[in-house]
Amino acid sequence: MKKKFSSLILIVIGIFIIFWGISGGIIGNFLMPIVGIFLILIGISLFVKMKRWYWIAIILFIILIAYFILLLFIPPAPPLMNPQEALTKACMMLIKGDCDVSTDSISVGDFDADKNGIENDSGDTLFALCKNYYDLKTDSECKKMCGCSLCSQNNSLLCDRSCNSDDDCELSCGCGCISKSEECRYAGIVCEAPGPYEECKCVNNECKYFNPPP
């Protein structure tokens, strides 16, 4: 009686492991069903006291057929994040922190950003993702790709001043004459007004103060 009970437990566990493997278990879709089939065979052999191994071969064949039929009807495990999804998720965390933290301190989660074959380790950061998948070399470039404005009153040299006409330029508080597409992060310090004869103009495709001739 104990042997039959043990065999039934092995069969149930084997069936559970097969379904777990098919649906994307921890070890994967290939090894888990094999382990499950092995447990089921042991359970059946204990239950019916098989002495002829060809019966086991027949049962194994039937189980494999059933397994491949199940594969046709059970959807595969959802794919892992792609680089764009990982970037979007990490950039949201960066922007939530007001873009002030280093991109190397933000984890991208279940994605192999540093391409070492291991997901969710200490090297899988936003900066590693920018470097290895988008060929960005610096923290500033990575932040800019996330939509963070690096242009600020304390670091106005990073402001975008590109232009094609005077209409592309504007006078900002804290960052001076910059492109209208740029956003100056104003720190609240009192702005310095331009000179009375200076204008914010596009000069040689760059927004800058321009002193018109008298």
Q: What is the 3-state secondary structure (H, E, C) of the chain?
A: CHHHHHHHHHHHHHHHHHHHHHCCCCCCCCHHHHHHHHHHHHHHHHHHCCCCHHHHHHHHHHHHHHHHHHHHHCCCCCCCCCHHHHHHHHHHHHHHCCCCCCHHHCECCCCCCCCCCCCCCCCCEHHHHHHHHHCCCCHHHHHHHCCCCCCECCEHHHCCCECCCHHHEEEECCCEEEECCCCCECCCCCCCCCCCCCEEEEECCEEEEECCCC
Task: Report, as an integer, the average pLDDT of 87-94.
Answer: 91
For residue 167, the one-letter residue type is D
Task: Report, as an integer, the average pLDDT of 37-64.
Answer: 63
Among 9-13, 50-54, 156-160, name the one with the lowest average pLDDT: 50-54
Start-to-end CA span in the chain (Å) = 110
- Give percent above pLDDT 90 in the chain: 18
Q: How many Å separate Cα 154 from the centre of its chain?
A: 31
pLDDT band at residue 169 using 50, 70 and 90 as cut-offs: very high
Measured between alpha carbons, how far is 91 from 95 in angstroms, rounded to an integer? 6
Encoded tokens for 145: 């790709």
pLDDT band at residue 127 using 50, 70 and 90 as cut-offs: very high
Say which residue the tokens 């001043």 belong to.
Answer: 161
Cβ neighbours of 186 (radius 10 Å):
14
What are the residue boundaries of the structural domains of the chain, listed by start?
A: 2-73, 83-145, 156-210
Question: For residue 25, what pLDDT is reported?
Answer: 46
The larger pLDDT score, comparing residue 51 to residue 192, is at 192
Cβ neighbours of 113 (radius 10 Å):
26
